[in-house]
Amino acid sequence: MLRRDSIQGDTVARFLLTMVMLAGILLCSVIVSPVRPIQASLTMASPPSVNTLPATGISDTGATLNGEIIDFGWPNFVAVSAGFDYSLALRPDGTLWVWGYNVNGQLGLGDTTDRHVPTQVGSATGWVAVSAGASHSLGVRSDGTLWAWGSNADGQLGLGDTADRKVSTQVGSATNWVSVSAGYYHSFGVRSDGTLWAWGQNHWFSSLDQGGQLGLGDITDRHVPTQVGSATNWVAVSGGLAHSLGVRSDGTLWAWGFNPHGELGLGDIGQQGVRSPTQVGTSTNWVSVCADWYCSLGVRSDGTLWAWGMNGGGELGLPVNPSILVPTQVGSATNWLAVDGESLHFLGLLSDGSLWYLRGPFQVSSATDWVSVAAGRDHFLALRSDGSLWAWGANERGELGLGDTATSPTRLIFYPPSCQVSFEWGATTSYGNQTAPQTMTGTGAFSADITGLSPATTYHCRAKAVGDGTAYGDDMTFTATTATTAPSVTTGDASSITTSSARLNGDLTSLGIASSVQTCFEWGPTTSYGQKTTLQTMTGTGTFTASISGLTPETTYYLRAKAVGDGTSYGAERSFTTARKAASRLPLWVYPIAIAGGLMVLMALVAIGARVVRRLVS
C-alpha cells in the first residue's frame, strides 16, 4: 500500500497544510490496498551463481579443488508494500522484512533507527499480508490474527490508545482477518466473514466538520476496530488521505470520506464529504481500487482502467482537468491488471507483464515479466516473475533497501552478501564426499584441499553455494597421478672435514614400494662427480654415512646422496671445501743453535765495521 506524509500537529497546522494541498503546491501520496502478486508465476528461490574451476596441485593422493562465486543471488519476495519513506515485504517462507524510515517505530524492530537494507522482523514465519501507511504498519498472519505497529497518534493501530508501538502488537483476539489496508492516519481490515472494519482518524479538520473516511456515519475517531455497516460481502478496500474506496463481492464500487476534488466519483464535490459507504455508479465488474490523496483509480474485470478526482497535471492518464467527478476510462486498453501510485505518480501493470507510467503514458523499462508494483511517497517497488525485487525513486532514508541512499533503479541483493561454499567430490557423479563449508562475503575464487585419493583414478567434483537456495557449478573431472615408486632421499652437510678426508651424510626418507634400498654418495671436484661410495643396503628409513679420503687440501668437492630401489632418486647437491695443509716445523734443538750463530755473525760484523771506521779516521 502507499503511504502519506506522517505530519502530526494541531488543527491549525492541518488546516494550513490542506490549504497548500488544495492549491496544488504539494503533491499527494497514493494509498492503496496491499499489492497482490501473481504468485503462481514467481520463482521461489534465487540461489547464488557459482562456477567450478579446474583442480590444481594434483598428486597421487591429493588435489586442490577450485571454485568461484559470481554473485550471491537476490532475496525473493512475494508481496511488497511501500509507506512514507519505508518499505515492507514478505518472502516465500512467510518472513517479514523491512527497511527505510523508522522515526515512529514503523519498521517494528523495537527501536527508531532507520535501516538501509532489508532486515527481518522477529522470527515469525506466518505473515500472509502487510500494508504500510504514512508511518504505521499492519499485518496479518496465517492464523488469522491482526498485528499493528508504528505511529498511533490517531488510534490507527487499533489498540485502544494513542501510544506508538515499536514492535508488532496483536490487535484484539479475532482470528479471522484476511486483508488490511493502512490509510494515511486510518486503517481497514476485512474478515473472512466478509465484514469490513475501520479504526483510526475519522476527520480531516474537525473544526470544519470534514471527514468521515472510516465510513461509520460520523467524524469521530475510533481507537479499536469498528464494523462498517452490516454488509458481509466486502472483498477489497483502499484507504487514502481522507477518503476510502471498497469493492464488494457483487462487483459494486463504494466510496466515502472527504471529497474536495470529486475523488469519491459520485458526480459532485463536497468539502464535508460522505460519511457512510455510498455506491459509485451502477457497474458490477469492479475488481480492484486505489485511493490517492485527492484522486482514485480502479480496474474492472474487462481489463479497463478508470480514474477520477484531482487531475490538474494529467497524472491520471486523462486530459488535464482539476476535478474529474465520475469514473472515466483511461485509454482503450483492456488488459490492465493493477494500478498503484504515489504523489500523483501512477504505475499500471498490463497482462503482458509490461509496466507503464500513466502520465504520458510511457513504458517503464523494456522488461515484460513484472507481476506487481507498490508505490510509496517518493519511491517505487516492483516484483518480477523470478521473484526479484526492484526499487527506484527517492532514497534519502534508505527506503529502497539497497544499502545506501542512491536513487537509480536497482535489483535488491543480500546485504551483507554472504553464502556458504564447499565442494562435492568422488569417483562417480554421485560424489559422496563434501569439503567443509566456508563463508564467502565477497565474490571471487575459493578452494579446498582433499586427500585420500587413489593413484591413477579419475574423480568428479563440483562447487556448491548455499544462499537463498542452493546452486552448483558444472561437474569437472581430474585424474590422480600414478603413485611414486622410487625411494626418497636427501643429502646432508658433510662433516669431519680435513685436508684429505670427510664424512658424507644422507637421509633415506622413503623406500617407495621396495622392501630394501641401496644407498651411496656420488662425489667429486666437479658437478660431474666421477666418484661413488660403496653401496649400502637399507631396509628402513633413516640416516646413512660414508667416509672418503685422498682429498686435496683447500679444494671444493660436490656430492649428492643416491638411493636405488624401485627406481632411482637423488638428493639435492651439496658442497664442502677441504682444510689448508699446515706448514713443516724444525726440531726444537735447532732454534738455540740458530740464535747463537746469529749473534756471533752479528758481533763479527760489528767488529769489522769498527775497524773500517778507525782507518778512515786515521
Each residue of 519-548: pLDDT tens digit? 999 999 999 999 999 999 999 999 999 999
Determine the distance from the C-alpha atom of residue 7 to the mean position of all C-alpha atoms in its chain, rounded to a whole number.
Answer: 34
> Is residue 98 scored above 80 in pLDDT?
yes
Instruction: Tell me which residue of 173, 138, 172, 131 sits closest to 152, measured CA to CA.
Output: 138
Determine the distance from the C-alpha atom of residue 124 to the mean position of all C-alpha atoms in its chain, rounded to a whole number.
Answer: 21
Return the minimum-mean-pLDDT range out of 61-75, 136-150, 557-571.
Answer: 61-75
- For the stretch 268-298, pLDDT in tens is 998 778 999 999 999 999 999 999 889 999 9
Contact 52, 474 (CB under 8 A): yes
> Is residue 568 scored above 50 in pLDDT?
yes
- For the stretch 153-204, pLDDT in tens is 999 999 999 999 999 999 999 999 999 999 999 999 999 999 999 999 999 8
* pLDDT at 365 (0 to 100): 82
- For the stretch 207-238, pLDDT in tens is 678 899 999 999 999 999 999 999 999 999 99
Return the minimum-mean-pLDDT range out of 65-69, 495-499, 556-560, 604-608.
Answer: 604-608
Q: What is the mean pLDDT of residues 41-69?
A: 83
**Hey, which residues does 189 pair with through a beta bridge?**
180, 197
Using DSSP's 3-state secondary structure scheme, residue 136 falls into strand
Helices (H) and strands (E) in the chain, counts: 2, 47
Give this prediction's pTM: 0.67
Return the minimum-mean-pLDDT range out of 399-403, 571-575, 605-609.
Answer: 399-403
Contact 461, 478 (CB under 8 A): yes
Start-end of H helices in 380-481: none
- Grid cell, residue 496, equals 669431519
Q: What is the mean pLDDT of residues 421-426?
A: 98
Amino acid letter, residue 124: A
* Whole-angstrom distance, CA of residue 80 vs CA of residue 136: 15
* pLDDT at 198 (0 to 100): 98
- Grid cell, residue 178, equals 484476511
Return the minimum-mean-pLDDT range out of 6-20, 161-175, 332-346, 436-450.
Answer: 6-20
* pLDDT at 15 (0 to 100): 30
Amino acid letter, residue 322: P
- For the stretch 314-356, pLDDT in tens is 989 999 999 999 999 999 999 999 998 777 778 899 999 999 9
* pLDDT at 403 (0 to 100): 60
E strands in 304-361? 305-311, 321-329, 336-342, 345-350, 355-357
For the chain, give the percent of residues with pLDDT over 90: 65
- For the stretch 577-603, pLDDT in tens is 999 887 666 677 767 787 877 788 788
Classify domain 11-35+52-118+126-411 by CATH number: 2.130.10.30
Contact 497, 579 (CB under 8 A): yes
Instruction: Tell me which residue of 563, 559, 568 sits closest to 538, measured CA to CA.
Output: 563
Furthest-apart CA atoms within the chain: distance in Å: 169
Instruction: Tell me which residue of 188, 174, 159, 184 sits closest to 277, measured CA to CA.
Output: 188
* Whole-angstrom distance, CA of residue 41 vs CA of residue 321: 38
Locate the domains of the chain by residue range: 11-35+52-118+126-411, 488-577, 592-618
> Is residue 377 scored above 90 in pLDDT?
no
E strands in 158-285? 165-170, 177-182, 186-191, 196-200, 222-227, 234-239, 243-248, 253-259, 270-279
pLDDT band with cut points at 50, 70 and 90 for residue 60: confident
* Whole-angstrom distance, CA of residue 248 vs CA of residue 257: 18
- Grid cell, residue 327, equals 469514473
Return the minimum-mean-pLDDT range out of 43-52, 113-122, 207-216.
Answer: 43-52
Contact 264, 212 (CB under 8 A): no
Contact 393, 407 (CB under 8 A): yes
> Is residue 95 scored above 80 in pLDDT?
yes
Start-end of H helices in 173-256: none
Contact 386, 369 (CB under 8 A): yes
* Average model confidence (pLDDT) across the chain: 86
Which uninterrupted H or E stretch holds 14?
A: helix 11-22
Using DSSP's 3-state secondary structure scheme, residue 110 falls into coil
| Beta-strand pair 355-357/345-350 | antiparallel
> Is residue 392 scored above 90 in pLDDT?
no
- Higher pLDDT among residues 611 and 558, named by residue: 558
Which uninterrupted H or E stretch holds 118?
A: strand 115-120
> Is residue 445 scored above 80 in pLDDT?
yes
In the CATH hierarchy, which fold is given to the domain comprising 488-577?
Immunoglobulin-like (2.60.40)
CB neighbourhood size of 335 (10 A): 13
